[in-house]
């Protein structure tokens, strides 16, 4: 009987893992230079952590279970809520802003398709404790810098929910109703939106203002903001949004679209929101999304604003051309009589270079063939004559050049 991997999961073999680690290392190098510290949260959490954030409807998308203590648990479907829970449990006394990042696997029970799996990886950041436009600008600039670092040109769309929230507040104070309106906008289901608003007896003038808002979009961000003011007046949030756009230009982020129709579809987002799209992914073209939000109060903390984003690492890998890092490899060619010496020499060299020794009892010719098959950069021949003379034969497998070196020179070569 053959047991297959679960649906929606993948096996990553060494070559693919080398590519993934190369991309991961570039993302880590950027975010650490911006002063963000890594956090790791449990793979499973209490189910309530996610239903508090997203409602009971999310349970159908989760890998949830009852543990042996009869507690309702779930594998994490995302990482923002766990990080906010960790803040409430462990970090409320920390100086603000708190700048965190994570790179972990998540789990969702949904139909697998291109760029969408039941087990997937998310690279994200959370900046906790600042409601200023400076925080929004840094987070967006950081996301775009990370995406650029792996050779991807993302199409950045920035919105601000204050305008839609202002209009929706004139319709209802019920969160369930406002959430449904935002979902229709997020999915661009405008006919369903109109029907829903009509059922709520919303005036034609207010429906028209909502339509004008979601269609406000353009490369000139300040012109788009002026258009928003024409709909709702001079909201203070729009002044902060304009300052954030000015700050973005200082970061060198100038190629974007301001789009007031970006809704993110989740009720905890409060102000600036953004999404990044990339070509080559079909319908699942979003590679990054985020914005400012309030979640901490839901989990027992104060009224603390955060700004963050999540990068879909698997979608990045679909279109990223960064090659795997291939460090130099030396294959040791030994005989049974020189095996012990070979192991000792390998131990000396391994602090400087990858070293492989024969584990199959192959003869000299077979060891050479194996070294060639695996793409070793060098073979180091350790025979009885080499040991007697103190000169080891090092062959460059690409050029075919062979030189004799003593152990000290050999160590120096790979230092």
Q: Percentage helix, strand, coil, to 5, in the chain?
A: 45, 20, 35
126 is in an annotated binding site: yes
d(CA 163, CA 228): 7
247 is in an annotated binding site: no
Q: Which two tokens stand for residue 47?
A: 């189910």
Residues with Cβ within 8 Å of residue 338, at least 6 apart in sequence: 382, 383, 384, 386, 387
80 is in an annotated binding site: yes
Where are the strands (E) in 132-255, listed by range? Answer: 155-160, 217-218
Assign 319 to helix, strand or coil. helix
79 is in an annotated binding site: yes
Q: What are phi and psi of 398, to 5 degrees?
A: -85, -45
d(CA 350, CA 229): 65
d(CA 250, CA 260): 22
Q: Which residues pair with 286 in a beta bridge?
A: 277
71 is in an annotated binding site: no
How many degrees, rounded to 5, is the angle at CA 69 between CA 66 and CA 73? Answer: 35
Q: What are phi and psi of 18, to 5 degrees?
A: -60, -40
Q: Which long-range contacts (CB under 8 A, 24 or more apart) does 242-250 make?
A: 243/133, 244/133, 244/134, 244/136, 244/137, 244/272, 245/158, 245/221, 247/133, 247/134, 247/137, 248/137, 248/140, 248/141, 250/137
Residues with Cβ within 8 Å of residue 128, at least 6 apart in sequence: 84, 87, 91, 96, 97, 98, 99, 100, 296, 304, 306
61 is in an annotated binding site: no
269 is in an annotated binding site: yes
What is the 8-class DSSP label of residue 116?
Answer: B
d(CA 308, CA 244): 15
d(CA 238, CA 159): 11
d(CA 5, CA 11): 8
d(CA 202, CA 172): 10
21 is in an annotated binding site: no
Q: List binding-site positions.
A: 78-80, 108, 122, 126, 264, 268-269
**Which residues contribute to the annotated binding site for L-histidine?**
78-80, 108, 122, 126, 264, 268-269
């Amino acid at each position: 009987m053959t047991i297959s991997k679960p649906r929606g999961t993948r096996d990553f073999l060494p070559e693919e893992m080398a590519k993934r680690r190369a991309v991961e290392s570039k993302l880590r190098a950027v975010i650490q230079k911006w002063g963000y510290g890594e956090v790791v949260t449990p793979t499973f959490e209490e189910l309530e952590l996610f239903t508090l954030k997203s409602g009971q409807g999310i349970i159908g998308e989760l890998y949830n279970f009852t543990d042996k203590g009869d507690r309702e648990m779930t594998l994490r479907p995302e990482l923002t809520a766990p990080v906010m829970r960790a803040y409430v449990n462990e970090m409320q006394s920390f100086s603000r802003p708190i700048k965190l990042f994570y790179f972990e696997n998540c789990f969702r029970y949904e139909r697998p398709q291109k760029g969408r799996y039941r087990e997937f990886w998310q690279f994200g950041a959370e900046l906790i404790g600042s409601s200023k436009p400076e925080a929004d600008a840094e987070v967006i600039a950081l996301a775009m810098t990370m995406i650029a670092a792996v050779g991807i040109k993302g199409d950045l769309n920035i919105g601000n929910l204050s305008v839609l929230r202002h209009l929706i507040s004139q319709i209802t104070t019920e969160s369930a109703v406002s959430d449904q309106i935002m979902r229709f906008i997020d999915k661009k289901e405008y006919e369903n939106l109109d029907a829903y608003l009509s059922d709520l007896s919303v005036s034609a003038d207010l429906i028209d203002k909502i339509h004008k808002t979601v269609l406000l979009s353009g490369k000139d961000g300040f012109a788009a903001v002026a258009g928003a003011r024409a709909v709702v007046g001079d909201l203070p949030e729009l002044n902060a949004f304009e300052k954030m756009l000015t700050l973005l230009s200082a970061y060198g982020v100038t190629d974007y679209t301001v789009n007031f129709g970006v809704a993110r579809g989740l009720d905890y987002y409060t102000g600036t929101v953004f999404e990044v799209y990339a070509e080559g992914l079909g319908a699942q073209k979003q590679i990054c999304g985020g914005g400012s939000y309030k979640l901490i109060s839901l989990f027992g903390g104060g009224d603390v604003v955060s700004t963050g984003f999540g990068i879909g690492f698997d979608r990045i890998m679909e279109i990223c051309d960064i090659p795997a890092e291939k460090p130099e490899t030396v294959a040791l060619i030994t005989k049974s009589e020189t095996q012990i010496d070979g192991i000792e020499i390998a131990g000396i060299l391994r602090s400087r270079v990858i070293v492989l020794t024969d584990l199959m009892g192959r003869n000299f010719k077979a060891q050479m063939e194996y070294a060639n098959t695996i793409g070793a950069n060098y073979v180091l021949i350790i025979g009885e004559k080499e040991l007697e003379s103190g000169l080891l034969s090092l062959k460059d497998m690409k050029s075919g050049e062979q030189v004799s070196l003593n152990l000290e020179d050999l160590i120096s070569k790979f230092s």
